[in-house]
Amino acid sequence: MLGVLESQPPWSNLPVLALCRQGPQALALREARLRNLTVLDRPTSTRMMVSAVMTALRGRRWQYQIRDQIDSLLQADRSLRLADQRKDEFLATLAHELRNPLAPIRTGLQLLASRPEDPAQWRSVTEMMERQMSQLLRLIDDLLEVSRIATGKLVLQRELLDMRCVVETALESSAPLIERGGHQLAVVLPDEAIWVHGDLTRLAQSLNNLLNNAAKYTPDGGCIWVTLARTGDDAVLTVRDSGIGLPPDMIARVFDMFTQVNRSLARAQGGLGIGLALVRSLVALHGGKVHAASPGAGLGSTFTLQLPVTAPMPAAAEPATFATPEPVQPKRILVVDDNEDAAESLAMLLAIGGHALRVEHSGPAALDTAAVFLPQAIFCDVGMPGMGGYEVA
């Protein structure tokens, strides 16, 4: 027994009650190396015995509470260490992902400056720069979206949607990446509409992320299958690929922020590990759910998105007619941005349309100019130092 008592964990101090008559035995017990020993002289009263037992049990319960608190603190410490490690990995990946498109853009600018007389090169370089800028903007948009969701600032623009339109919109955005990988794409859509109450942009963004994920992690010349169907009261959208698949231990964590199955491959393909986390958050805001499945590494993956269906669109009495938009007449436009390059470049772009432009770089200066210039439209940055865009408005 002494061995068991001496090997207790730090939080434990097991109470021991001993009943013995006064004499050498009692003296030996009191001198034993026991930290939590209570010796009761025999004979003793029932009341004293019950009191001693209750005190021992109460002390033991407190020890268990301390143990649970220690376990919670250790778990919190492990979580904080993991979060700190993920933060460092995220910052390193973010720096890499930002540098990736910026490097060819800088090279392109040098090429344009060195050979301004070559129209073919200008066209090729500007197309490349546009692709890289699109990649950079998608990255930043995903980061901003995650921030809006985390702070509760994302507002869904809900409307009655045919899920087939969501699929078509997402496929249009993902087509370049799928084509670049030489993937075979198979799409199965129902003949009848499946209606949901949702935000077209956010739902298409969710599907777009799933499609891009499939395209990036499927070797060139692979297959991607997209299926839309109604199951009970749910619209069920499935994206399946013949790609690298998911190890069993990753399936439960694949939607966690900054999670990447294969970091070396993810670094080569690009990405911050936020795309699937964003999908889960956006789908949850629509009252839906998304889950992943895979037979194993190298055997492809399946992502299934479920959304509650809603009542069908009532039949229209007459087909909708759309007026031909009139040409935009030149306007007086004020551009306000503390980033001078951003303000000047936007003003140059707007000037192509024949608009009259004024540019300011602070809130107070914008108000002074607006009082005299009387702009018909204002492009104003929100996050300016001092007086921000909301105060200007």
pLDDT in tens, 287-296: 999 999 999 8
Rounded CA-CA distance 287/197 in Å is 10
Q: How far apart are the first and last CA of the chain?
A: 78
Least confident of 124-133, 239-248, 256-265: 256-265
In terms of Cα–Cα distance, which of 157, 241, 234, 239 is closest to 203?
A: 157
- Which band of pLDDT confidence, cut at 50, 70 and 90, is reported for residue 282? very high
Give 332-392's CATH code, choosing from 3.40.50.920, 3.40.50.150, 3.20.20.70, 3.40.50.2300: 3.40.50.2300
Longest dimension (CA), the chain: 112
**What is the pLDDT averaged over residues 176-186?**
92
- pTM beyond cutoff 0.75: no
Residue in this structure with the two tokens 């699109």, named with its chain if needed? 134
Rounded CA-CA distance 364/384 in Å is 11
Task: Give domain limits for the chain.
Answer: 2-76, 86-150, 161-308, 332-392
Q: What is the pLDDT of residue 378?
A: 94
State which fold the 86-150 domain adopts: Helix Hairpins (1.10.287)
Contact 281, 152 (CB under 8 A): no
Contact 264, 227 (CB under 8 A): no
Q: What is the pLDDT of residue 317?
A: 46
Rounded CA-CA distance 301/298 in Å is 9
Name the 3-class secondary structure at 217: coil
Least confident of 107-111, 162-166, 196-200, 321-325: 321-325
Contact 337, 346 (CB under 8 A): yes
- Tell me if the domain spanning 161-308 has CATH number 3.30.565.10: yes
Rounded CA-CA distance 137/163 in Å is 26
Which residues fall within 8 angstroms of residue 311, CB to CB, at 6 or more apart?
195
Q: How far is CA 78 from CA 32, 74, 90, in A?
A: 39, 6, 18
pLDDT in tens, 18-56: 777 776 665 665 555 666 777 777 787 888 888 888 988
Residue 61 host element (H or E)? helix 46-114
